[in-house]
Amino acid sequence: MVELIVFALMAAASLAGGVTVIRARNPVYSAMGLLATLFSMAVLYVLQLAHFVAAVQVIVYAGAVMTLFLFVIMLIGVDKDENTAETIPHQRRLAMAIGLIAIGLGTALVARGRFSWVPLVDTPASAAETNGTVQALAEPMFTDWVLAFEATALLLTVAAAGAIALASTRKPIISRVPSSPAVSPSRRAERGVGGSGQEGRGGHPVLPPAAGDTRAGS
Amino acid sequence: MSLVVTPGWYMTLAALLFAIGALGILIRRNALVMFMCIELMLNAVNLTFVAAGRALGNLDGQMAVFFVLVVAAAEVVVGLAIIVAIFRRRESASVDELSEMAG
């Protein structure tokens, strides 16, 4: 009975969060809806005795991933209106039809009742066998799944390196001087050779704010 | 009243969430929101894994969820970096404008 009540509450919360994700105009509201879904998922995991998975869900998803999402939303800016022009004719209407069919099939599953046509789900296992504590999960993780576990370490390293490579800019800070935006640093150094006193110590071009003006005058 | 919440209920909820996520992918144009919809679908699959593992009486479902979580975290990191890189270039997060590769 308690399981039913908690399941109903969390199912409603997760569905509401999911609808918020796809309906909200503001991406921050979408992120908040996703956060509601992720938290209610964690509760549903606890309800199914998957304690370790629930903890990881809260820490990794609701903690790290959502923080990353919010960082990027703030970085990109939230106030841009989405272009709602349809590049494919009737795309939105077709998508709604497909989605309603899928959701209708899902609710038909509930309405039909006891899922007797799915053989495996009628026999819930005993609680002791599927109690997903840290101890219980550590044993298969470091015996049967140890190769996959090591592969995830490699995957995370590659992902971190890839993110740094994608996010880093090769442009040196020198090219952001507003006086001569179109000139690349090497060209600027070439020009500076003929000029008087444009090259500073050690061959680095000296860039006072008025550097472009003196160059234009010479 | 003895209404037992069988794993089928969880799977149905997961199916609904997956449908919502797929619908969002089809409707929305903002790359960030589409990315969130992918996360929604991944979570729906995770819920199915846990429910199926419980129904089958072993922990392999929860192990699968663990690995899906790791892959999803890596995917989010790289995907958001790509979105930021695209945004730097064209000041927009709309996927409709990324049509250089279209014939």
Domains, chain B, with CATH or none: 7-102 (1.10.287.3510)
- In the predicted model, is pLDDT for residue A193 greater than 80? no
Cβ within 8 Å, pair A96-B81: no
Angle at A109 between CA A108 and CA A115, to 5 degrees: 145
- The per-residue pLDDT of chain A, averaged, comes to 76
A118 touches chain B (CB under 8 A): yes
- In the predicted model, is pLDDT for residue A196 greater than 50? no
Q: What is the mean pLDDT of residues A172-187?
A: 54
Provide the pLDDT for residue A53: 92
A79 touches chain B (CB under 8 A): no
Cβ within 8 Å, pair A44-B33: no
Within 64-83 of B, beta carbons closer than 8 Å to A belong to 65-67, 69-78, 80-83
The interface predicted TM-score (ipTM) is 0.90
Render pLDDT for A56-115 as a digit per residue (tens, 0 to 9). Answer: 999 998 888 999 999 998 888 765 666 666 667 777 888 888 888 888 887 777 666 555
**B89: left (phi > 0), else alpha (psi -120 to 50), else beta?**
alpha
Cβ within 8 Å, pair A76-B59: no
Q: What percent of chain A has pLDDT over 70?
A: 63
Residue B58 is nearest to which of A27, A34, A129, comparing CB atoms? A129
Q: pTM value?
A: 0.77
A130 CA: distance to closest CA in chain B (Å): 6
Q: From first to last of its 103 residues, what are the pLDDT tens digits of chain B?
A: 457 777 778 888 998 899 999 999 988 888 889 999 999 999 999 999 998 888 777 888 899 999 999 999 999 999 999 888 888 877 777 777 777 776 6
